């Protein structure tokens, strides 16, 4: 990856002297951005550009080439790659479009490019991308004509769309946020977003990473890399409009759309998902401040009104106002002209007009052990205070470094003044109070995540009957079907998930015998591969209290099912003892095509999809993650024993969730799994799976 950003010699392939030539734009961008390496132009017609010779072939260049930037029609790209291979070029950026995104013929050309790259061990970015920028060495090779429009900074960008990437950089420039590196990944035939993310995590010049994604190739690898990152990773994931729109065969599928899995995976590995550019720029600003290690803030404001607004925003964001000692307040009062404002936190400096004194007050505030960060609210009078404001912001920036505590600065001024200040400072300037506190919240959450990296809990592994589950799944696969109810229940039992015992029956008489053997009351459930939601068609009969009601229920069930599903295979029924008491939960999981096994826990029953009371994690999960899933459920207080009620057996639910996590991890051929309901009893009484569906 180093050679993608730090080549010493570059060949730009596809250059001519025509003013409309895009290769010419790349050459000029390298000049304007001050690239510190050697550049060669290559084009089939030869000639010259800006006193540089245009070579007719890469092979004609007399010197070694580190990297080739290729922008020729798609049909010529394999030939150029062959030349690069023969020349010993090991890195390329293919900006040409017209491959698989365009036609089947383009896909065939792609295959040729991949084969040539593999044969010569060439790593390449693209195709169908706009290129790479490295502000550290002036390596700027996008084909649009650019001028140095953004300052050098510490934010690096990986974008699946060149246009979106450029728009983000334009916004950063307007907000005074500096760029370190940018790469447009295009079709990702060779170097993908995960490769680049791994590189940028170790890159000294990069402090914050932003990624724009339209698709995810390897979600597991993305999570693994992000989990190891000490740097903030911000991701805008688009292309979600049509996901999860098909009718789901299981509750789990309907509750865990593709985009919910993405949300879950990002949260779990510490990626912050962004949904709008304003939030993105605010986060880019605050994450460049020192870490906010706790929630105690001091608000210092030049305006009493702004102080009140900030206090409200502080509380809504979950922060606390630090308490100031009496001697600290008395010391500040000495600087005031008149004692007309009662000093507290927020500190209202409305009676103080000396901006140099503000510096001392912020310094003294940061010295307080119980202050974790400062929010400074400044109203600037541009005509008379521009230089004083610049000096003040410089002081705030130095105080951040001195105390290693964040000072988030809000400035109220006209747009011209704000733009001038942002041009002069790399220090973040906010213009919205509420967004400032939202951004500080991210700083705090990121600090907490980094603190937890070294103490991550390992997922437990249990002794299970994997051989029996293999047999059950193998039998079903050989018959090209999903698991039947009785088989699904046996799978759960084999993996240590408690189930209610049941007997199968193929006739009313057998059902009667089974009920008498188990003891009344009983439940009866249809066994059929084709029926997903049994209760919707009378496939579940509960609380049957005598032999006659069992026989009648069996006959009624057969009649209803044949009417509703005339083509369905009727595999008999399962008769189970009625489980009395407890709380209905749902436990489930599914295989996501990007992230693998996802585990779901919810407050269950037939209304689970309506209330959407479910939480999710990517498996395998740890014990603490299983507890967190339960705690974040809407209504979890009921399970914990709210208002003097008896507590439910949370430990049993956690154990069942962990065993399910192992089952889904061990058997990726399980596409979807529902345990609905899982009856959770009171503390020390355990839980029971009453029904299950496993789709292969």
Count how many domains the chain has.
Answer: 4
Same domain, 439 and 523: no
Same domain, 15 and 158: yes
Same domain, 535 and 598: no
Same domain, 35 and 68: yes
For range 54-64, the mean pLDDT: 96
Whether residue 56 is contained in a domain is answered as yes
- Given a cut of 50, whether residue 126 has pLDDT beyond it is yes
The span from the CA of 81 to the CA of 630, in Å, is 54
User: Among 205, 223, 241, where does a domain finish?
Assistant: 223
Could you list the residue range(s) of the whole structural domain that residue 501 is in? 466-577
Note the pLDDT tens digit of each residue in 190-226.
Answer: 999 999 999 999 999 999 999 999 888 899 999 999 9
Whether residue 275 is contained in a domain is answered as no
Whether residue 251 is contained in a domain is answered as no
CA distances from 682 to 414, 447, 685 (A): 62, 37, 6
Percent of the chain predicted with pLDDT > 90: 66
pLDDT at residue 492, rounded to an integer: 98
- The CATH number assigned to the domain holding 647 equals 3.30.470.20
Q: What angle do CA 471, 472, 477 make, to 5 degrees?
A: 95
Same domain, 536 and 644: no
- The CATH number assigned to the domain holding 564 equals 3.30.1490.20
For range 264-282, the mean pLDDT: 90
- Given a cut of 80, whether residue 118 has pLDDT beyond it is yes
Tokens at 431, concatenated: 């213009």
pLDDT at residue 453, rounded to an integer: 58
Proportion of the chain in helix, strand, coil states, percent, rounded to 5: 40, 20, 40
Note the pLDDT tens digit of each residue in 319-355.
Answer: 999 998 888 888 887 776 655 456 788 988 876 777 7
Same domain, 18 and 81: yes
Whether residue 250 is contained in a domain is answered as no
Same domain, 588 and 570: no
Residue 249 pLDDT grade (very low, low, confident, very high; cuts 50, 70, 90): very low
Same domain, 309 and 448: yes
pLDDT at residue 638, rounded to an integer: 84
Tokens at 430, concatenated: 């906010």
Residue 304 pLDDT grade (very low, low, confident, very high; cuts 50, 70, 90): confident
For range 138-154, the mean pLDDT: 95
Closest by CA position to 690, among listed 581, 606, 579, 614:
579
Report for 179-183, 412-416, 481-485, 569-573: range of highest mean pLDDT: 179-183
Same domain, 392 and 474: no
Whether residue 248 is contained in a domain is answered as no
Whether residue 129 is contained in a domain is answered as yes
Same domain, 340 and 365: yes
pLDDT at residue 248, rounded to an integer: 43
191 against 238, higher pLDDT: 191
96 against 565, higher pLDDT: 96
Tokens at 307, concatenated: 């102080």
Whether residue 273 is contained in a domain is answered as no
Same domain, 432 and 484: no
118-132, 527-541, 568-582: least confident range: 527-541
The span from the CA of 425 to the CA of 7, in Å, is 30
User: Among 529, 562, 577, where does a domain finish?
Assistant: 577
User: Among 550, 577, 604, where does a domain finish?
Assistant: 577
Q: Which residues pair with 658 in a beta bridge?
A: none
Which pTM value belongs to this model?
0.87
Mean confidence (pLDDT) of the chain? 90
Return contacts of 474-480, CB within 8 angstroms, 24+ apart. 476/696, 477/669, 477/696
pLDDT at residue 622, rounded to an integer: 94
Q: Which residues pair with 41 in a beta bridge?
A: 12, 54
The span from the CA of 651 to the CA of 659, in Å, is 12
Same domain, 619 and 519: no
pLDDT at residue 51, rounded to an integer: 77
Whether residue 95 is contained in a domain is answered as yes
Closest by CA position to 12, among listed 3, 419, 1, 29:
29
pLDDT at residue 394, rounded to an integer: 93
- Given a cut of 90, whether residue 642 has pLDDT beyond it is no
- The CATH number assigned to the domain holding 29 equals 3.40.50.720
pLDDT at residue 255, rounded to an integer: 54
pLDDT at residue 340, rounded to an integer: 46
- Given a cut of 70, whether residue 256 has pLDDT beyond it is no
- The CATH number assigned to the domain holding 407 equals 3.40.50.261
């Amino acid at each position: 990856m180093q050679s993608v950003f730090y080549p010493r010699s570059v060949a730009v392939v596809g250059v001519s002297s025509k003013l409309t030539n895009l290769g010419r734009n790349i050459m000029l961008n390298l000049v304007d951005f001050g690239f510190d390496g050697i550049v060669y132009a290559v084009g089939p017609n030869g000639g010259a550009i800006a006193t540089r010779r245009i070579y007719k072939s890469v092979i004609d260049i007399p010197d070694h080439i580190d990297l080739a930037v290729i922008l020729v029609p798609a049909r010529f790209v394999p030939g150029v790659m062959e030349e690069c291979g023969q020349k010993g070029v090991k890195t390329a950026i293919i900006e040409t479009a017209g491959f698989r995104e365009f036609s089947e013929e383009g896909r065939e050309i792609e295959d040729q490019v991949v084969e040539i790259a593999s044969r010569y061990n060439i790593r390449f970015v693209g195709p169908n991308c706009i290129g790479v920028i490295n502000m550290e060495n002036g390596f700027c090779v996008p084909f649009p004509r650019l001028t140095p429009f953004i300052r050098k900074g510490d934010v690096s960008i990986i974008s699946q769309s060149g246009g979106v990437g450029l728009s983000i950089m334009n916004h950063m420039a307007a907000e005074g946020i500096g760029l370190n590196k940018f790469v447009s990944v295009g079709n990702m035939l060779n170097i993908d977003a995960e490769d680049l993310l791994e590189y940028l995590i170790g890159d000294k010049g990069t402090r914050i990473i932003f990624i724009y994604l339209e698709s995810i190739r390897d979600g597991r690898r993305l999570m693994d890399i992000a989990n190891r990152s000490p740097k903030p990773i911000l991701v805008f994931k688009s292309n979600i409009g049509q996901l999860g729109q098909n009718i789901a065969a299981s509750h789990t599928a309907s509750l865990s759309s593709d985009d919910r899995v993405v949300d879950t995976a990002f949260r779990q590995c510490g990626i912050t998902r962004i949904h709008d550019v304003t939030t993105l720029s605010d986060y880019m600003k605050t994450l460049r401040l020192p870490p906010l290690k706790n929630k105690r803030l001091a608000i210092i404001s030049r305006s009493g009104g702004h102080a009140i607004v900030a206090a409200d925003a502080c509380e809504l964001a979950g922060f606390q106002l630090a308490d100031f000692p009496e001697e600290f307040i008395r010391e500040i009062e000495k600087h005031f002209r008149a004692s007309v404002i009662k000093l507290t936190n927020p500190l209202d400096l409305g009676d103080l007009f000396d901006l140099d004194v503000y510096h001392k007050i912020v310094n003294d505030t940061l010295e307080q052990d119980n202050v974790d960060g400062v929010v400074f609210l400044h109203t600037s009078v541009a005509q008379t205070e521009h230089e004083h404001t610049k000096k003040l912001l410089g002081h705030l920036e130095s105080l951040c470094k001195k105390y290693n505590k964040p000072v988030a600065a809000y400035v109220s001024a006209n747009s011209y003044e704000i733009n001038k200040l942002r041009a002069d400072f790399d220090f973040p300037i906010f213009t919205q109070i509420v967004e400032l506190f939202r951004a500080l919240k991210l700083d705090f959450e990121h600090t907490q995540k980094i603190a937890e990296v070294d103490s991550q809990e390992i997922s437990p592994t249990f002794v299970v009957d994997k051989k029996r589950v293999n047999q059950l799944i193998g039998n079903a696969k050989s018959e090209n079907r999903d698991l039947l109810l009785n088989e699904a229940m046996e799978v759960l039992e084999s993996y240590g998930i408690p189930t209610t015992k049941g007997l199968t029956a193929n006739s009313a008489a057998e059902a009667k015998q089974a009920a008498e053997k188990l003891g009344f009351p009983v439940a009866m459930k249809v066994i059929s591969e084709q029926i997903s939601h049994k209760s919707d068609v009378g496939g579940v009969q509960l609380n049957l209290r005598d032999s006659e009601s069992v026989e009648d229920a069996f006959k009624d069930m057969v009649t209803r099912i044949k009417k509703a599903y005339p083509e369905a295979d009727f595999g008999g029924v399962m008769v189970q003892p009625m489980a009395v008491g407890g709380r209905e939960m749902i436990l489930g999981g599914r295989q996501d095509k990007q992230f693998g096994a996802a585990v779901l826990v919810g407050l269950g029953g037939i209304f689970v999809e309506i209330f959407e009371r479910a939480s999710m994690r990517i498996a395998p999960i740890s014990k603490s993650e299983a507890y967190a899933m339960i705690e974040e459920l809407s209504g979890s207080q009921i399970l914990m024993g709210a208002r003097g009620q008896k507590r439910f057996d949370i430990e049993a639910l956690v154990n069942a969730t962990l065993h399910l996590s192992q089952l889904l991890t061990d058997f990726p051929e399980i596409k979807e799994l529902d345990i609905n309901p899982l009856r959770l009893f009171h503390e020390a009484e355990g839980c029971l799976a009453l029904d299950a569906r496993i789709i292969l």
